Each structure stands twice: as C-alpha cells, then as structure tokens.
Structure 1
Amino acid sequence: MATTNGLPTLKIAFEKAAEAVVSRNKKGIVAVMVRDAEEQGLYTINSAVLIPEGLGEANKLHIRSAFEGSDRGDPSQVVVAVIAPGTENTEALEAGLKLLESCSIDYLAGPPDVTEEELEVLNQWVLAQRELYRTVKLVRPFQTTGSDNMGIIELDETGLANKDGPITAAAYCARLAGILAGIPMSMSATNVAMQELTAVTQRSLSQQVEAINNGKLIFVHDGLQAKIARAVNSLTTIPLDGKEDWSKIKIVEGMDLIRYFLRNTIEQNYLGRYPNTYDNKQLLVTAIQDYFYYLESAGVLNPGESFAEVDYDRQLAWINAQGVSTTDMSRQQVLEYQTGSWVFLRCGGRLVDAMEDFEVLFNNL
C-alpha cells in the first residue's frame, strides 16, 4: 500500500514556498562587490549601519546605495564581497565570486570600477550559476555588444549625474540592483523614480525605443525626476521555445523564484523520502498544483491556467528506452508504470505582468 505519511509536511512546505515567492521574505537579496585594502571578505548585512567600519568612505557610500531601494520596496539583505584592490588581473574578482557561491542572491553588481575583462568573468559566472537553477542576475554597464541573456541586465547610461557631479553606469549598478531586489512580485521596476539623479543620457523618443528594443535598460527624465524607462534585461534573441516577455525583468524574476522554490522544496521534502509509486507521484502533483493555486490567488500566476501532472510523453519514452513494448498499453497503464528512480512531471502557468502600457480613449461629448 502506498504511503501518504509525507503529504502534510510536503503540503506545508509548498505553502511556505508559495508565501516566500509572494512576499519575498526569503529573497530580495542583492550582492555588491567593492575593492578595499581593509576588511576583505564576505559580509551579509540587513542594515546600512552594519557596513564594516574599516572600509573607505567611498565604498561605504557605494554599499549604502544598494540599501536605498525605491518607493516600491527595499532589498531584504545586502551581501558585500570586499576584494583586494587592483585591476591588473581578475584573480581578486574571481576569489570574491567564489565566496558568493555560498550565498543565495537575486541581483549582483560588480565593483564600481569594473573592467571589461572582469565583466566577461561576471557574465560567465552568473550564467554558470543559473545553469544550476540559482536565481542570481547580473546588473552591469553596457559595453559595446549586448549580452543577450535574460539573466544579465545592462544599464546603458553615459550622462548620469547627481548634485555632486557625474556618475558612471558601473558605479550606479549597485543602486539599480538594490532597486530591482526590492520590487515585490506584483510590481515591475518600470517607471521607478530615482530622486537623486539630476541628469540622464539625452535620447529622443525613437532612440529610447531603439535602446529598449536592443535589450538596454535606460533612464528617462520627465522634467521632474529620473525614472526607469522600461525594466528589461539584455535578452533580444528569443529562443524557439521561449516568449517575448522573457525580456522583462519582472517575468524572469517570477520564473526564477518559482523554479527555485519548486526545486528546493522537492529536494528538501520529497527526494529520497518515499517509494516511487504512482500514488506518491500523484501526491507530489497535488502538492505542486496547490502551490500554483496559492500563487494564482496572490496574483503571481494567472488564474485557471496553471497545471501539474505526470508527464505521459516522457514516461512513454522512458519505458520504450527500457526495451518494453508499449503498443498494447493504455494511457493509464503508461502513467502507472514503475519508472525506477525517475519521476517525470510537467507543470506550468502564466506569470502575470504589471500594468505598463495604456491606451485610453476620451470621447468629447
């Protein structure tokens, strides 16, 4: 007889995972890298007052900017990687990234004086982490060619300034990463205001549209304040199995968090714990579907479109690969076939976007 002992624990685990996706209680973490002769190492801090005292004043201000967030929310934590000074090679940066591998982070900003060679190292590190289903996304300055990846956000600004003078895009990435980390799942960073900026790169409307379509995150100034024009990542080549909205930071953030919590919850509460029977597979399917229902009710996923089920096609292919004829098997027999240690599931849903584009018709009666 199939065991059902683990169902309550699994259900509770998925409920907690869903709540974490919605509220970002366990996410919203930004990592910032700085160079300093003192205090080298890794620091996880949840308040600007805890910034290491021994750091230089410029580095303290840089880290403090990551805490600022926006009127839509603040990051829950800032992870600071203090690396050795010097840009003659990438060894110090690589050592800092090695430290960051022990952390769960959502957005990463390199040093304010990051070099082109270091940017390539950062790109490759982030892509490797994402291959491992981690949620980190890189916020970096745009150089000469776009990264064309949903996990890399490129700030293309050469005219930034505040009351103290010009600011480079590289130096502003920590501030931007903190903004993105603080945005709730129900909102996007589009139109977020940055009150401290007095100037942004001057572009015509057509140049703004062209930059955004080329995967560049840019700012606009409406005469009152500077704002994020459209919260996009650098993805411009949509995969054959992809969607155009994968170029939006909000959508990718939702995809990342759901995949992260789904994978972790299964690994921590299900993997290796139960016999691989059809009944236990269905328990897992039910728990995942309930998880999606919660996200639907919270406005993260579109209601009525989420699903989870045993994957008939992959299960059929696995059986055939074992040399077993499936010619006379019914669909249900295929679904109930014992598949060793393998569990083949398929699930999905439609992430809800934020209101960003409006068309209002006014009739003058």
Structure 2
Amino acid sequence: MGLPQINIEFIGKAVTAIKRSQLGIVALILKDDVQTADTVTYKSIEEVPTDGWSPANLDYIQKTFMGTPSKIIIERLPTTAEDYNAALTRLNNKRFNYLAIPSIKDKETTNIASWIKTKRENKKKTFKAVLPNCEADHEGIINFTTAGIKVGDREYTTAGYTARIAGIIAGLPFTRTSTYYELNEIDSITEIEDPDAAVDNGELILINDGENVKIGRGVNSLTTTTGKKTEDFKSIRIMEVQDLIKDDIRTTFDKHYIGKHNNIYDNQVLFIRSVNAYYDGLEDEEILDPNFDNKSEINVRKQRLAWENIGVDTTDWDDQKVKEMSFKRNVFLAGNIKIVDAIEDLDMDIAI
C-alpha cells in the first residue's frame, strides 16, 4: 500500500520546488581564532554576533546573507591550519548547496575542486563550490574570476567575494537565473577585456554596464561537452534543477522503497508512475517544459545487459519481456526530461 503515500510525497515536493529553490544552503570554511566552535550554523543575519568573529570573517558572513540563503553552515579552522581537510571531513555528511572559502589561495583550489567532483560522482552528493580562478571544467565548480572589487573604502580579492556569489546563487528561485543579477553595493571592478571569451571559457564574471555592476552570465566552469554532458550542463540554473530532481527522487526512493518492497516488475511500475507524477507537478510549476514528454521508464538496455553479463541469453526477449524480468536487487531506470531555462538571449530581425 505504498503508492498513495509516495505519490503524496512526490506531489508535495513538486509543488514546493520553486519555494525550496530559493532556500539554498551555503557552507563557508573560515579560518578564525576569535570564534572557538568548530561548526556554527546561522539562519539569519540577526543571529550573527558582531563580536563572535574576526572583522574580516564577520564581513564575509554578512555578505553571504545579502543573497538571502536559507542557512549558512560555517566550518571554522584555526588560522594556523595548513589545509582545509578537517573542515571538509565535517562537511561530508551535511546538507548544503554551495561551498565558498573566502580566504583560499588560488593554488589551494584544485584540492577543493577534486573533493567536490568526488562527492558528486562517487558519493552521489549534489555539492557545488564557488572557487576563485579555478578552471575545473566541471559543472559542480563555479569559476569566479573578477578582481579589484571595490565596496566603499575596501577592495576585495576574487576569493574574498566568492561568499557573496555563493549567497546570491543559493538564494535565487527557479523563476530567474543569476545572469544580470545586480550587485548594487559594488562601486567598481577590474573589468575583463573580453567578457564573451571569459564566459565561453567557463568563467563567472562581473560586468559594468555603465550604471550597474552585475553578473555577466550564470555559467559554471564546464567547457568540455560530451554526449552525456551537453551545453545545458554549463548553466548554473539547469544544474540546480537537475540536482533538485536527483535529490528528490533519491531521498524518496530511500525512504519508501529500499528494503520495503520486493523487486518485481509491478512494484517498479508503481515507482515509475510516481516519478512521472512528480514530473507532471514540475511541469505545472514550469520547471520542466509542459510541451515535452517528460518521463521515466525501465532502462531496457541496462537490464538486458545485466542478464547477459551473468550468461543469460536474451536474444529471444522483446523489450517488454526485458522490462518484466527484474534483475536481482537492482532497479534500472532511464529518464528523459527538458528543463526550462530563463530568457537570456534575444535574436530579432526587423525589416524596414
């Protein structure tokens, strides 16, 4: 009798998807000797004690909250710490969306990028990081490259403003992207000579349009596309939607299916129907394109290959037979969806 319950949960997740999208969590790693706790969590700027952190770190926290994330998790290290490993270990099993380390040096970004990649690819986490001058060529790393950021009488390094950028991205709803997001507090920046080339190179940059300083285009560091990682994977917003869907399906499967149902075709169909109902809800919220056939189904190719790999000849099996022949403890599914992006480009021909 699990179907109604899982349907209700999926429908609820779909309805709240836009609301949850602007409730992202930022993780900060700060080196500080004023604060003594290893892990500190704040849900609003009002909770942050002005005497609880060094002035520089207090400013980083305040800048992060300007973007209105739902929560900031801070992993503190002593100023004498030689690396960030202890903080990363503490973050391993925490839930967050974007990591920033405003005091990081460019030479240290490679290790953080590798950690993010490993968590996304091996541990199935949806962690992402905003890192300075880091050509990671990966959808989980946002390569922020703008320098000379002046706010009042203070000039920030590229690394120093990653906390602000992480806060912005975490606080945005799916109804818009970070492209052309205005940072009204900034007085000036070191402008990049060729912004188009920088964006094509996977750089998140700030631009000055003569009136406002704003984010150029909401891209991550991915530059190399493949059959599996298409141009869409370069978009921060597209990846955020993908990660939300992965998290929703995975957590619901873990909660309602693992160990609770026999692995037979009928039970797999029940789960697939629930996933497709979830897609229908995302279509209603215009997160998925309602004009596209968004659906999941049994992955016939993988299921057939699994049987073949243990010596079973499936030559005489048609696709329906393969679907009905569930394999051991495995559920092989495939999905095809179209995520809606925001309007960002105009190509208009006017004849006169």
Question: Which TM-score band (shorter chain)?
Answer: over 0.9
Is 1:183 aligned to residue 180 of structure 2?
no
Q: Alignment partner of 2:204: what SS?
A: coil
Is 1:322 aligned to residue 318 of structure 2?
no
Specify the code of the residue in structure 1 equivalent to 2:274.
A
How far, CA to CA, are the matches of 1:362 and 1:178 in structure 2? 40
Regions of 4+ moved over 4 Å: 361-364
1:213: which partner in 2? 200
Instruction: List gaps (5 residues or longer) in structure 2.
Output: none
Q: How does 1:1-365 map to 2 (within 5 A)?
A: 5-24=1-20, 27-37=23-33, 38-52=35-49, 53-69=51-67, 74-86=68-80, 89-90=82-83, 93-110=84-101, 112-131=102-121, 132-142=123-133, 146-204=135-193, 207-303=194-290, 304-362=292-350
Specify the code of the residue in structure 2 equivalent to 1:9.
Q
| TM-score, normalisation: structure 2 | 0.94
Specify the code of the residue in structure 1 equivalent to 2:163.
A
8 Å CA contact 1:22, 1:185 repeated in 2: yes
**How far has the Cα of 1:20 moved from its partner?**
4.2
Change (3 A) 1:240 1:77: same
**How far has the Cα of 1:212 moved from its partner?**
0.7
How far, CA to CA, are the matches of 2:192 and 2:330 in structure 1? 54
**How far has the Cα of 1:305 moved from its partner?**
2.5
**How far has the Cα of 1:25 moved from its partner?**
6.3
How far, CA to CA, are the matches of 1:135 and 1:125 in structure 2? 12
Specify the code of the residue in structure 1 equivalent to 2:32.
D
8 Å CA contact 1:20, 1:27 repeated in 2: no
How far, CA to CA, are the matches of 2:255 and 2:249 in structure 1? 10
How far, CA to CA, are the matches of 2:107 and 2:145 in structure 1? 18
How far, CA to CA, are the matches of 2:267 and 2:293 in structure 1? 24
Alignment length (residue pairs): 348
* Superposed CA offset, 1:277-315 (max 9, x none): 111110011001001111111111112331111111122
**How far has the Cα of 1:54 moved from its partner?**
2.3
Specify the code of the residue in structure 2 equivalent to 1:105.
F
How far, CA to CA, are the matches of 1:45 and 1:164 in structure 2? 27
RMSD: 1.8
Instruction: List gaps (5 residues or longer) in structure 1.
Output: none
**How far has the Cα of 1:361 moved from its partner?**
4.2
How far, CA to CA, are the matches of 2:98 and 2:30 in structure 1? 15
**How far has the Cα of 1:194 moved from its partner?**
0.2
How far, CA to CA, are the matches of 2:321 and 2:191 in structure 1? 64
**How far has the Cα of 1:81 moved from its partner?**
1.4
How far, CA to CA, are the matches of 2:203 and 2:21 in structure 1? 29
**How far has the Cα of 1:175 moved from its partner?**
0.4
